[in-house]
Structures are given as C-alpha cells and as structure tokens.
Amino acid sequence: MKKKRVVIDVNSAMLQYSRGWTSGIGTCTRNLVTTLDRMGELPFDVVLYSQNTKRVSGRLMGTHFRTCHILLPHKPWVNRMVGLTHLREWTTHYDLLHIPHNFEWVRKPERTVVTIHDAMFFAYPDDVFNHDYFQRTYPTLARRCRGIITCSESSKNDIMKYMDIPEDKIHVCPWGYRKDIYYPHKKHDDFKPFFLMVSCSLGRKNSMSVIKAYEKFVKNNPSHDLIMVWSNAPQSVREYCDQPHLRNHIHISGNIDDITLGQLYSDATATFYPSRYEGFGIPILESMACGTPVVTCNNSSLPEVGGEAALYVDPDDIEAMSHYMELFEQKSIDYDGLKAKCLHQASKFSLEKCASQTIEVYKKLL
C-alpha cells in the first residue's frame, strides 16, 4: 500500500546555509528533521519543502528525505500568495503539511499541523517584534488547522487561554538537545572563572538584571567575570559595560557556533537565565546537559525544564542573583551535587523522544 506523505516546511532552518546562522526555531526544525532521518524507516514518506531564490534547499540538510524547492522569495507577501493558491499542494501533493515555525499561509488548514512554540505575542507582547501582527494572524491557522504541536505544558495552557483552542487539539512534544555537542567537556584550566548568559536581549530575556547583579557582585573584587553571548548588543548596553568598574570584567560576544557554545557552557561556573517568559528555555537544558548549574526564574515553562536542578530567583530580584554569584565565588554551595542534579534533569529530554512523539502526532492526524 502506498505510504501517505508528510511535507515539512524547513524554511526556518535554511538561514543556517544562506547566512551562516539561524534562529532558535530554525535550530529546532533542523534538529527535528535530522533526528527523524535517523529513526529508520517511517510509516509515511517525508518531503522537505523550501522556498527562496538562492536555491538553498532541504538537500543541504543531508538527509535521505526527498525535497521540493520553489524559486520564489520567502517573504510574507509571497508566502501569502503561495498560501492562497494551490502552488504548494501541486508541487508536493501532501497528505499532511507540518509548519514548524508558528504560522504560515496555507490553502488546506484541515491537512496542516503547526508547531506553536509559545504564545509570547499574547503573554508578553513587544512592539519591536511586530507582536500586534502575530496576534491578528497566528490564531487564524491555529483555530483552523488539524492539530497543534507545542514544546511545553506551559505553552499548551497559553495557547488554550489566548487563542481559544480545545485541549485535545494540542500535542506536547518537549524539545531535546544534541548530545554530541552539549555534554560535560574538559574545562580549560587556564581560563579565568566566569558566569555565562546566552540568548540576551533588553526585553523579556532580562539581560540587564544580570548585568546589574554582576555590578553589585563586582564591588568585592571577585575572581569571576561575566560573559554574555549577545549578537548586536545595543550601544547603550556596550557603553554601560564599558564603565571603568565593569570594563575588564563583562565580555560581550556575538554569534558563536554550537560547538563553541557547548565548550563555553562547560567552562562556565554557572549560567544565568532570568527570563520573564519562555515557551521552553533551551539554554537551560543545554547548560544542564553540560553539567553547569543554572539560575533562572519560576515562571512560564522554565520550571518544566529546570525541574529540581535549577536555582530559582524572581526576575526583578537583583540581590538574589548577586547573592548566587557570591555563593559560587566563595564555593559555598554543593557544586558536585548540583552538577549531578543538572545531568539527571537533562537526561529526561532527548531529540529522539521528541521525534518519536512527533511521529505519533503525524500518525494520529494522517
């Protein structure tokens, strides 16, 4: 009997090959596709769909899956045109279309499953990211599609709350991490000790709170520096960190590759991630997988990922963050016990488990 066909839109992952970097959503899409490829024979055929004028297609992902590429710009107005016609259907002949990046214009929502990573555009709106547009458009697909995949119970609850979606339509498939990259590396003994923050921003990521906590901490002339992985950090932040008492202690790095990030997590004494809202919180998982303790917040999805291994603070509690820095500095904390908890908590998540759960969703919806 002929297998049914699942088409996965991989456009979010194509930036890795056209620009050398991708978003968290693009990374999740790439990890899902490559893990599905490693799962062996599947009960359905998979086709990878891409769309751009640079001929950057799903073939570059190196899987055994068939690919379909359309030479049209991947821009909102073009995507809407594609969605209003039968172009995607004519070229792929799908039985189920998976949109893994929150929203797309599609002709047949009744044959579509969409991954909605979070409801940030409702729960924590930000004009900078055009969240008003998201509020108006994203629910149109969410309400009409065949099914929704999300990455945490917190996101599921928010999708139900803000978009009025029935519970049985939403399937939770928590993300995993690449075990070949995020594991306890051998530390660089010649490095000065440091704290780490990744995925920084002035908004919900709450990065300035970490800077201000470190500013309190640095008054005691500690041994630890602070490294922030922050692409395109605002000039105001760079100027703040260039004050004489911070200049030689806070280091801002731009985009780094995954391998370097894995080593950076392992070298760090602790990772600080006091986000105000997350659909999942992948940096927490990556840090714990490297055996590095995490200081984060008890909101949204963060306790689902951090479990009993993370250390929790209020996102506005600068004093508490600074206090944890001091505890790590003075080694007044059960570091080995905390590391063991982190590794145990990280072991509960895997890309294989995420892919297996996604396969079951496909089978249910086909």
Task: Please state the rounded mean pLDDT for residues 29-48.
Answer: 97
Q: Which domains does the chain have, with CATH numbers?
A: 5-176+350-365 (3.40.50.2000), 194-346 (3.40.50.2000)
Which whole-number Å values give the CA distances from 305 to 12, 34, 81, 98, in the listed order? Answer: 24, 23, 39, 25
Lowest mean pLDDT among 181-190, 283-292, 297-306, 334-343: 181-190
Check residue 193 and report its DSSP letter.
P
Please check the confidence at residue 17 and state whether its pLDDT lies above 80.
yes
Please check the confidence at residue 126 and state whether its pLDDT lies above 80.
no
Global pTM value: 0.94
Lowest mean pLDDT among 189-198, 259-268, 283-292, 330-339: 189-198
Task: Please state the rounded mean pLDDT for residues 76-94.
Answer: 92
pLDDT tens column, 159-197 = 999 999 999 999 999 999 999 999 999 888 788 999 999
Please check the confidence at residue 129 and state whether its pLDDT lies above 70.
no
Higher pLDDT among residues 348 and 187, named by residue: 348
Please check the confidence at residue 251 and state whether its pLDDT lies above 90.
yes
Task: Please state the rounded mean pLDDT for residues 20-30.
Answer: 88
Which whole-number Å values give the CA distances from 291 to 227, 269, 287, in the listed order? Answer: 18, 10, 7
With cut-offs at 50, 70 and 90, classify the pLDDT of residue 127.
low
Please check the confidence at residue 130 and state whether its pLDDT lies above 80.
no
CA-CA distance, 49 to 67, in Å (whole number)? 6
The pLDDT assigned to 62 comes to: 95
Residue 69 belongs to what H/E stretch? strand 66-70
Which whole-number Å values give the CA distances from 269 to 50, 60, 194, in the listed order? Answer: 41, 36, 6
Beta carbons of 294 and 344 less than 8 angstroms apart = no
Please check the confidence at residue 106 and state whether its pLDDT lies above 80.
yes
Of 277, 265, 274, 287, the C-alpha closest to 346 is: 287
Which whole-number Å values give the CA distances from 36 to 228, 296, 310, in the listed order? Answer: 33, 31, 30
Task: Please state the rounded mean pLDDT for residues 262-275.
Answer: 97
Please check the confidence at residue 125 and state whether its pLDDT lies above 90.
no
